[in-house]
Amino acid sequence: MRISVIGSGYAGLVSGVGLSEAGHKVLCMDIDADRIAALRKGHADIYEPGLNEMLAENVGRDHLAFTTSIEEAVAHAEALMIAVGTPPSEDGSADLAHVLDVAGNVGKFMSKPLLVIVKSTVPVGTCDRVREKICSQLDQRGKDISFSVASNPEFLAEGAAIKNFMQPDRIVCGVADLHSEQMLREMYAPFNRKKEKMLFMDVRSSELTKYSANAMLATKISLMNELANIAERTGADIEQVRKGIGSDPRIGYSFIYAGPGYGGSCFPKDVRALARTAQDHGFEARILNAVEHVNSYQKTRLFEMLKDEFAGELKGRCIAVWGLSFKPRTDDMREAPSRVLIDSLLAAGAVVRANDPEAMQEAALLYRNHQDFSVHANQYEATEGADALVLVTEWKHYWIPDFERLAASMRQQVLIDGRNIWPQSAALRHGFSYHAIGRPSARGR
């Protein structure tokens, strides 16, 4: 199948590469000429395990090509996938300007029947607006060309996106006609052999499914963080509570880890957008608003723990930070808890020394105007002379620290475990004060 993917950011690029790996002829389009030039050479501008290798292989096989021309992309396609960004507006709603711009250009340049697939995360009713935009352009041209609009939201987790695309749990498709279903079945046939993974539904239900999935996961995280805050105040240990409730099959262990709050490009934006959609339809989404409120508060907890440890005196303190990306296996710092912590520390006059396996370049760019912020290639180098070490992101090589080395390099022996992964007993044996999320604090010898 000849497929065009409009937007070569995260969702668009992973989708395009995955479809080309299955044998389709894929043309990815983006207006960023530098990005397209790099992609033609097999280099992605995002970090995602396995992406560059699969990208280069399929460029070499002539299954995958790139362009900056929307006209070329429309001409190439039997199926055209819209995967452009939907950034949040000031009121929290999704900004659909890029999606509708693409729809207008599709109507402007299409010359043969086409299936338009909306892959971008969009509010309920967006596919109707895409259809109207295309029809408007066709009417202006005096053309009568058949087309269909389908919804096919992505469920890609950063750090595991290639695996998620190549081995999906489910493939959600919202369609309005049998022809669209048949084309989508053909497109995803290589991913649907072992068992039926394709879920067909009406378009609006498909659009809402994506937002609902992210809202459900975000709700579990915020609820667990709320319970952690209760645990701290009552002397309970949230890690023991987690095991107790996770063993209930109705609850399970996924997404019930207490921490410094969720971040990234999806959960924060999608929770706000869904709440805004509810408001636009005359309904107050009380739980969604609470989820967002709890998460905003939780992102301040690491800074508050440091303030408590140093009696509010952080000016001149040196704080080491391990983990900058919002989660492991990505370089994405959008709405990351680390940014709230670092911003607060710098505002309080502290010095921040940070390490991350993938996000240091992004962090150096974000904080290039702050002389009290620095990144260090070695995680232990970042702790030299530090008054405290804060774990923000649970990259695997942070899990078992060399406490003896930390004790020798740090000025004061204070640990803030933002992910509840460090062995408390080992930290205490080496003389550290240990603080975590939803767990009793303890001080070593």
Residue whose structure tokens are 């997404």: 255
Residue type, 67: T
Residue 339 to residues 122, 168, 324, 436, Cα–Cα distance (Å): 26, 32, 8, 19
Q: What are the structure tokens assigned to 132, written together?
A: 């109207």
Q: What are the structure tokens assigned to 177, written together?
A: 């006609």
* Composition of the chain by helix, strand, coil, percent to 5: 45, 15, 40
Residue type, 444: G
Residue type, 355: N
- Which one of 28, 127, 173, 266 is the catalytic residue? 266
Q: In whole angstroms, how large is the CA radius of gyration of the chain? A: 24
Which stretches of 247-336 are DSSP H helices? 267-280, 286-298, 301-309
Q: What is the DSSP string of 3-23?
A: EEEE--SHHHHHHHHHHHHTT
d(CA 99, CA 119): 10
Q: Phi first, then psi: what are they for 147, rounded to 5°? A: -160, 160
Angle 97-109/126-141 helices, nearest 10 degrees? 30
Pair 361, 325: CB distance under 8 Å = no
d(CA 251, CA 257): 13
Pair 318, 389: CB distance under 8 Å = no
Cβ burial, residue 57 (10 Å; 0-12/13-18/19+): middle
Give the 3-state secondary structure of residue 390.
strand
Let me know the angle formed at the C-alpha of 85 by 278 and 258, rounded to the nearest 5 degrees: 65
Angle 203-234/286-298 helices, nearest 10 degrees? 50
d(CA 166, CA 17): 10
DSSP class of residue 157 equals: P
266 is an active site residue: yes
Active-site positions read 266
